[in-house]
Chain A
Amino acid sequence: MSIGSERRRARFAVWGLLLVSVGGVYTVQQARDRHTARLGEMSEVLYIPSGRVLRYLSLGQEGLMADLYWTRVVQYFGRKRLAQAVRFDLLGPLLSIATELDPHLLVAYRYGAVFLAEKLPDGAGQPEAALQLLRRGIVANPDEWRMWVDLGFIYYWDLKDYASAVRVFRAGSERPGAKMWVRTLTASVAAKGGELETSRLLWSEIYRNADNDQIRHSAQEHLVALTAQEEISGLNDVLDAYARQFGQRARSLSDLLGAGYLRVVPQDPSGVAYVVGADGRTRLAPESKVDLKLLQ
């Protein structure tokens, strides 16, 4: 075989390899895209120009850029705190950029929300911005129960919105890996917010599923306190009805008994009779073992 024809055959082989490889690259890339649904992720990020521009500039090193931005957040917040500043204008945008660059940077969401939500001068006094940041974090990391708890605390401490706090804590307690204390926290906040039924439901659930006696005992005590709280509330209604009928408040529960509102003097769950205080409202007797402070 001549050298010329051998070279021609080699060239054909190289062309063949090239064409097969082009087809192969196309097929592999398509298979890969089907797995990652990359375009969907991309469009979400591209809605926010600042993050997009930085991602371009990072040349594929967006994780590193996110770290830099988170560090800038820490430095910025620290400097402002030291200077007792009353404006934290860059805090929100810097946190947005850091979390857009790296949606899994949990510390940026969690600490960042605290920085934003704390009242001035300890923080930026922007609880609504903190809520937004945490909501974005939850969308990007739906199984991170701690972020639900952080979100609940913003509602609880900063916005005093107990109903929302309970809703969020409850959702967090149902995430994989969530600790038992999230449930107890939810139940306590529900009681504090006046949602006694929700609180009772949650404490009953905790009582049933508790994995140690201490938690079970605590749940029982809370359930007892809730029962007492509900009974006190019911007795107060009766006292109000008595006052309406007779034009004066009852001085003891025996008065209600005499007027036919009650058949027996009711006892609290520890077996001690309720009493009427100087203000005309129902109270626990001093010797009662029920602790209503648990609900505060």
Chain B
Amino acid sequence: MSLEASFADEPAFVPYLAAGDPDYESSLAYVEALARGGADAIELGLPFSEPIAEGSTIQEAIVRALEAGMTVDRYFEFVADLDVDVPLVCMTYYNLIYQYGDEQGPRPFVRKAAEVGLSGFVVPDLPAEEAGPLRDACDEFGLDLVFIVAPTTEGERLERMREQVSGYVYVQARLGTTGARDEVSDYTERSLARIEDWDVPKAVGFGIKSGDHAERIVSAGADGIIVGSALVDIVAEGHENDDATEEVAQRLEDKARELKQGALRGAGDRPRVE
């Protein structure tokens, strides 16, 4: 199933977890739990040792995964081992993508990603103006390239993203970095308005941690929600308390269901366009 199709019938729930957090086997179970809980696509983080401007929640997840031995090659194995039937999006930093393989540029990484069944990429530190080679490789192997639109994204940068984006656009709903927040930002509606006429689904992320948040964001017009920190928190807490993998997986599945249900309610709240 294509990424865009995940948004087709109802608002999509797109969770994020760092692959290999806190270890390979548990992480497999956690990602599969999200799929059972109703995820329509999953952003699967490939940990990079030098992330920029990640909130401490995600940063710590990355450290746990790296310490447990996650590498680029293990990541590809991980994706191949996963038993889920929703599209998987690789979220990572460009350094890992363009350093991979013998050939210069992103092509070897994208070819391998296609082989193991990934559907697309989100690359936070890749400016749209430098995305050409990755976009070309994605076209060659049939993958999508998602861009993040921040509240401050305007003018030429916004236009360049629009030209190259596929799959969905990741709308950052609040200034700052990932971290679960108590309030849903006012920026949501404004951000959505700026990209209203883009012909890809709009998924809003950053700061969503409850079904109520999800509902409000979808009723404000989002085609989907992206949730990272609130889920990573569950993994972190389970790890600290040494909880059994099945228990933590169950909590993730429950949280996923809450968020998905919230998103569905949000769609119901929306004024019907005749």
Do chains A and B stick together as partners? no
Residues of B that sit less than 8 Å from A by CB: none
A: residues with CB less than 8 A from B are none
